[in-house]
Structure 1
Amino acid sequence: MAYSDSLKPLKTHLAILNLVIIGLILFLFMAPGNLLGHSSIKDINSVSAKIIAKNGASIRDMPSRKGKVIVIAPVNSEIKIIQRKVQSDIIDHKPGSWVKVEYLGKTGYIWEHLID
Structure 2
Amino acid sequence: MSRELPTGTLEGYQNFMISKIAEKSAEEVKNWAQKQCYIGLGNILNTAAELKIDATPMEGFSASDVTLALQNESLKGFTVCLGIALGYRHKEDATSAYKKVRKPLSEIVVTL
Whether TM-score is above 0.5 comes out as no
Q: Whose helix fraction is larger, Structure 1's or Structure 2's?
A: 2
- Superposition TM-score, scaled by structure 1 size: 0.22
User: Could you tell me the TM-score, scaled by structure 2's length?
Assistant: 0.23
Whose strand fraction is larger, Structure 1's or Structure 2's?
1
Name which one, 1 or 2, has greater alpha-carbon Rg. Answer: 1
